[in-house]
Structure 1
């Protein structure tokens, strides 16, 4: 007789109530030093210099990077982009996506641990905590202490630093959309317009709340990256790993005592790896979606191993294949595929940028009248010509029309003087004698060319309409 399928009693009086809400516990991290921390500090310094410094750069009297939304112009290091160039943003987003896929397949969540803005600003806010409230044990005691003048003073100093960092961050971010120098003057003189004030307040509050109060909760519950990262992981992905075979069994011991004499592994169960973790997890429990792979536990554990006289690497960057005693494959189909797609998109982006025209031309026919008879009997069509000078210098352009040798362009001045990053719109009449008409609908082409450089040109096709000839 076959075994019966186990049955679980789910009667109402047998169901155990589970609280789906758990109060957030404060994570108090310990200070530490190490190789990976130095790498992160160098990277953060470079990113801060890029973010806070670029906004103050000027090129030809204009802010080097400025997203001028009211004018619908985007100035980036001397180049001006229009809304019709917005497809380039799609290129950048696809490049970033494949870059993230590539680096995640190769080295796990290294983006989260070293360059993610949420992580970087959280580390800054944690530094502010240590400066104002002391080290880990002092902060734990301060949390448990009753309200006092000392506690209020330290907490006030911490939140003042938090708000200061948040305000500078918000000002810088908004400064990429509104000229930063004028924005700062308006802030100091209390002359901010409503929208600027709103966005500065919004981003100040967002930075203060996310990096100060939510912190790891953003990584746990708001960021989708932790959820879909497992799709990109394989057994050759580099991840922060605890060497279970070497570390177990855990247990304290005196320095100089060989673990084998006590029947223990190299882990002395000091919990330093937990105390330095910004998300509060124990890496010894295995790979977890909360781990952002900042390598803080590696630095802390290596320091303990040095003090105990053991080899480093009890916690280290390694792969599942390596931990199983197998060879790690660096080049594998998935990584090669992501790398090839990334290289292709970067190449296409560079080619597109390098071949972007410095002038654009748009032609629209006057739809109110298909054609009309001009003085002298010539057939006349009316067009609206829009010429955009995308360069950073004023230029004069010549306008011509092709499609038939006898086409005549009627314009007040064939030379169009246009300021940098400016659009000029002018009405243009095109005439042709009836005997030269080739049907009722002829293709014609307008050409605009810079007077000082023939390579700077643009074309636009249109139609020339006329009567039916008998």
Structure 2
């Protein structure tokens, strides 16, 4: 192919691309954005990252022993995660977990911008699925816009009704899947079909159904613009060293369409042919060539679109690419991660959170004991000359079954516990209180206060479980 023929072919490609994008401009909700869908490296990455949400739907169906593997049992105030049961008393571990993920989001933003928004956010993922169905049913962006303006017809009603039914099915399944993490999934399905589920369950499913349908089906990018607080704060979390989707203005400017018959050596414009395909594929309608903007969710779809155009017109890929503004403006490598103080601070806090979580999970005991010494009175002199102290024991059973336990005390010569042979039933997932009296002959007391140790123990599934707590025995002044 001659140079003129090649240039003519390139011009034809650009003309076709330009014709597809004449409707595109950034809007604030006055019209629906129908983003063009196209394949590419980042589109595949986006689908793979979105697949993480499959666990949201199938997770509740995994079983661990005789119960759901992960169940946040709020009515009984128990969180079951595989073989671990976490009670409200261990809430500090949840706080550390939330701190870890909050810092993880901050670190990801500092290093690579809003990658969470572009690849993992539930709003982005669900919107992507909804618009994928819309594209399959209604066709390309041009066809969708044409269908919107078309008069009512059987074909239009059929397509629209089918789309909205599928949207509603996804929304309902989303609501049920959310509730299933807090309500045994098999009991939930049974109660839903027999109309025996609680009003809270039905209400939550209805709210999630409506929220998913409206946010993913109608609001779409407007939820990112106006409802998401992350879009507002991410601007202060990134700097010039952050790697983000960036337009290389050195290569691209000045923009200009390819002129028919112009030899390559006479070209006076940059690589950007102003085809606007980067805008056409953007789910929020952002023009990445204007630099970083609040609406950019950094999904990198503009990179795929630009690379495809560059290949078609015979120019190098990477006009739009993941790059830091520091490297782009100064034409140098970005500052290494180990030289960024913010990264070290984030890493230190996250490490502390992980260590705390690991310690908490490894130190969880199925039985816990707290001892409260009665202060009114501190001690009582018995008729036989012994000194008696009163204690309230609070036994926390973290198992999923009631447990029979025996209480014992040690630490003083001649120590006697009243009703030592009494068996206490520690209720599952709750604190069981028991009053205990200790007696010591007065002549055996050598100090006003002496240490004692209480122990509770019981047998569960062939294993001996214990819990202990130190306290004091108080006698008269010597």
* TM-score band w.r.t. shorter chain: 0.7 to 0.9
In the alignment, is the contact (CA less than 8 A) between 1:255 and 1:308 conserved in 2?
A: no
2:388 aligns with 380
Aligned twin of 1:40? 46
> Pairwise mapping of residues 48-447 of structure 1 onto structure 2 (< 5 A)?
48-253=53-258, 261-324=266-329, 325-331=331-337, 332-365=340-373, 371-372=379-380, 376-391=384-399, 397-411=405-419, 413=421, 421=429, 423-437=431-445, 442-447=450-455
d(CA) in 2 for partners of 1:400, 1:257: 97
Q: CA–CA distance in 2 between the matches of 1:255 and 1:404? A: 102
* Counterparts of 2:104 and 2:122, CA distance in 1: 17
Aligned to 1:18: none
Comparing 204-213 and 426-435, the one that deviates more? 426-435
TM-score (ref. length: structure 1): 0.87
CA-CA distance at 1:454 after TM superposition: 9.5
1:437 is displaced (CA, Å) by 4.2
Partner of 1:15: none
Q: Is the 8 A contact 2:405 2:458 kept in 1?
A: yes
Deviations 1:316-351, CA, capped at 9 Å, x for gaps:
000112212122112222223322332332223222
Q: Classify the secondary structure of the residue corresponding to 1:290.
A: coil
DSSP-derived class of the 2:33 partner: coil
Give the secondary structure class of the aligned counterpart of 2:43: helix
**Residues 295, 251 of structure 1: alpha-carbon distance in 2 compared, 3 angstrom cutoff:** same
Return the alpha-carbon distance in structure 1 between the equivalents of residues 242 and 464 of structure 2: 49
SS in 2 for 1:458: strand
Whether the aligned pair in 1 keeps the contact of 2:392 and 2:434 (CA below 8 Å) is yes
Deviation at 1:90, TM superposition (A): 1.1
Comparing both chains, which one has the higher relative contact order based on Cα–Cα distances under 8 Å and sequence gaps of 6 or more?
A: 2
Q: Is the 8 A contact 2:72 2:79 kept in 1?
A: yes
CA distance in 2, matches of 1:455, 1:346: 30
For 1:5, the equivalent position in structure 2 comes to: none
**Aligned mate of 1:458, from 454, 464, 467:** 467
Residue deviations 1:260-298, cap 9 Å, x none? 534221112221111110111111111111101000100
Q: Which moved more, 1:385-394 or 1:217-226?
A: 385-394
Residues 364-373 or 122-131, more deviating: 364-373
Matched residue count: 448
For residues 261 and 376 of structure 2, the distance between their equivalents in structure 1, rounded to whole angstroms, comes to: 96
Q: Residue 28 of structure 1 corresponds to which residue in structure 2?
A: 34
In 2, Cα distance between equivalents of 1:341 and 1:260: 55
CA distance in 1, matches of 2:422, 2:401: 20
CA displacement 1:134-181 (0-9 Å, x = unmatched): 221111111222233322222222221111111111111111111111
Cα distance, 1:57–1:418 mapped onto 2, change above 3 Å: farther
CA distance in 1: counterparts of 2:194 and 2:185, whole angstroms: 14
CA RMSD of aligned residues (A): 2.8
Change (3 A) 1:22 1:275: closer
Distance across 2 between alignment mates of 1:255 and 1:64:
65
Q: SS of the residue aligned with 1:80?
A: strand
Deviation at 1:200, TM superposition (A): 1.1
Alpha carbons of structure 1 residues 259 and 460: separation in structure 2 relative to 1, 3 Å: farther
Q: Secondary structure at the match of 2:395?
A: strand
With 381-390 and 264-273 compared, the bigger mean Cα shift is at 381-390
Contact 1:443 1:461 in 2 (8 A): yes
In 2, distance between residues paired with 1:160 and 1:369?
Answer: 71
Structure 2 counterpart SS, 1:445: strand
1:63-118 alpha-carbon deviations (Å, 9 max, x no partner) = 11111111111111110111111111110111112211211111111111111111
Relative to structure 1, the CA distance from residue 272 to residue 403 in structure 2 (aligned partners, 3 Å threshold; closer, same or farther) is same
Alpha-carbon deviation of 1:367?
6.4
Distance 1:393 1:188, change over 3 A: closer
> Aligned in 2, Cα 1:435/1:269: closer, same or farther, shift over 3 Å?
same
Comparing 132-141 with 434-443, greater Cα deviation is found at: 434-443
1:3-28 Cα offsets, whole Å, 9 max, x none, are: xxxxxxxxxxxxxxxxxx96532110
Please give the alpha-carbon distance, in whole angstroms, between the structure 2 residues aligned to 1:347 and 1:435: 49
